[in-house]
């Protein structure tokens, strides 16, 4: 069994779609109606976005992650986040190399590599 999708309630669907397209490669719109936008990437997995009130800040440990092929890819993502002004909330340079950032609604998202 493998994880297939994550669903988030966001305050601005298009803003979140741009964020996840730019930084995580979720560019394919596989479903889009008044209630739900589902994004995917060539790497697989789905992210479902629906509009609602901003969620309260989740605990530090609540997050979801994307695995990359190498620590160099994590470093490159970290640099891209910085260049885009995305808030970094955690950085771990040693194995596993990982960076956590917050999306526009405060959800923690991680990129990591072993």
Domain ranges of the chain: 1-54, 63-114
Give 56-100 pLDDT, tens digit per residue. Answer: 888 888 999 999 999 999 999 999 999 999 999 999 998 899 999
Q: Give domain 63-114's CATH number out of 3.40.1160.10, 3.10.180.10, 1.10.3720.10, 3.30.43.10.
A: 3.10.180.10
d(CA 14, CA 68) in angstroms, rounded, equals 25
Yes or no: is domain 1-54 CATH 2.40.30.70? no
> 30 and 40 in contact (C-beta within 8 Å)?
yes
Report the predicted TM-score, pTM, of the whole model to 2 decimal places. 0.93
Tell me the average pLDDT across 44-56.
Answer: 91
């Amino acid at each position: 069994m493998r994880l297939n999708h994550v669903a988030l309630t966001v305050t601005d669907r298009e803003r979140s779609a741009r964020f996840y397209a730019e930084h995580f490669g979720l560019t394919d719109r596989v479903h889009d109606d008044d209630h739900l936008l589902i994004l995917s990437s060539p790497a697989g997995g789905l992210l479902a976005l629906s509009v609602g009130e901003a969620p309260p800040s989740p605990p530090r440990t609540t997050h979801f992650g994307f695995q990359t092929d190498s620590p160099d890819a994590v470093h490159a993502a970290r640099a891209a986040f910085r260049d885009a002004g995305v808030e970094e909330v955690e950085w771990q340079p040693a194995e596993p190399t990982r960076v956590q950032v917050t999306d526009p609604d405060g959800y923690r998202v991680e990129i990591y590599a072993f």
